[in-house]
Amino acid sequence: MHGLSDVFTLNNGYKIPCLGFGTYLAENEVLINAVKEAINIGYRLIDTAAFYNNEKALGDAIKNSGIAREQLFVTSKVWNTDRGYKQTKAAFEKTMEKLKLDYLDLYLIHWPANKKQFNNAEEINAETWKAMEELYLEGRIKAIGLSNFLPHHIEELKNTAQIMPMVNQIEFHPGFTQMDTVKYCQRNNIIVEAWSPLGRKEALANDIIKSLAKKYEKTPAQIILRWIIQQNIIPLPKSVTASRILENSQIFDFELNNNDIEMISGLPQAGGECANPDEVDF
């Protein structure tokens, strides 16, 4: 990985930028300005979701960015209340209307339906996925995938899926690496994306991260993002602060050695939500 324009290739051949821009908890003018900043700096992958309540503002920001549509990689996600075949299709149309786009680069199921809440969780996920597959085959979406799916959810999906997911976006930061899921995805040609890569910024205060920042003459955020990218995982740091948006993109001029990567991988919990998709009740 040498720069912001580097890409990974998904299992259907479509290219995805190696670093993304997260937008959770950013709305309205703040979001618009942050996206403008990010695009100017060179971010091309922008990650949103129906749940973030910012698709309309993001659509405005993209429209006014002056950059060609095909230069950007836009991701959104179907929210939990819209699971199922018909609902997913309708939710997708709403998302596209708000984003003002005629195709989406990547559409994800935001969370799997779980057995704690639904007796027929497997069936619900299968129906949601069927809608995603059809939208993909119609050319409305360039790639389809999952978010917060554990290996057993993906195994269940395989019983009915015609198309294997291309991406799984999971919570991933120091102290919460979900390595079983990462390994499962990487074995199965599913690219992993990391949400809350900075553990909602708590991980930045960790002493080991701080000492590595000193050693490499980088910032704690840059150390963590580099650690993620060196594992072939796409970090999606969220920031609405111009200096941090820039800082988070400057991770291509150094490399962590293997010992340091392992040291970070072994850290105890450092922030984030540490959500268990089988246990959540939303």
Compute the 3-state secondary structure of the chain and give helix, strand, coil in percent, each to the nearest 5: 45, 15, 40
Shortest distance (Å) from residue 169 CB to ligand A2P: 12
Shortest distance (Å) from residue 168 CB to ligand A2P: 18
Tell me which of 52, 107, 136, 184 is the catalytic residue. Answer: 52
Candidate residues 239, 249, 251, 264; the one interacting with ligand A2P per rule CB under 6 A: 239
Phi, psi for residue 88 in degrees, rounded to 5: -65, -40
DSSP secondary-structure letter at 151? Answer: H
85 a catalytic residue = no
Q: Does 237 interact with ligand A2P (rule: CB under 6 A)?
A: yes
Type of residue found at 144 = I
- Judge contact between 33 and 7, C-beta under 8 A: no
Query: What ranges make up the beta strands (E) of the chain?
Result: 7-9, 15-17, 20-22, 45-47, 73-78, 104-109, 141-147, 167-171, 191-195, 234-235
In the region spanning residues 171 to 230, those forming contacts with ligand A2P, defined by CB under 6 A, are: 196-201, 204, 221
| Binding range to ligand A2P, per CB under 6 A, among 7-15, 137-145, 206-214, 244-252 | 244-252
| Whole-number Å distance between alpha carbons of 53 and 58 | 10
Shortest distance (Å) from residue 41 CB to ligand A2P: 13
Q: Does 240 interact with ligand A2P (rule: CB under 6 A)?
A: yes
Nearer to ligand A2P (CB atom), residue 84 or residue 272 = 272
Sign of the dihedral through C-alpha 5, 189, 147, 209: negative
- The site string for ligand A2P over 44-83 (x = CB under 6 A, - otherwise) reads ----------------------------------------
Length of the chain: 282
- The site string for ligand A2P over 247-266 (x = CB under 6 A, - otherwise) reads xx------------------
Q: Which residues are catalytic?
A: 52
Residues forming contacts to ligand A2P in the complex (CB under 6 A) are 22, 196-201, 204, 221, 237-241, 244, 247-248
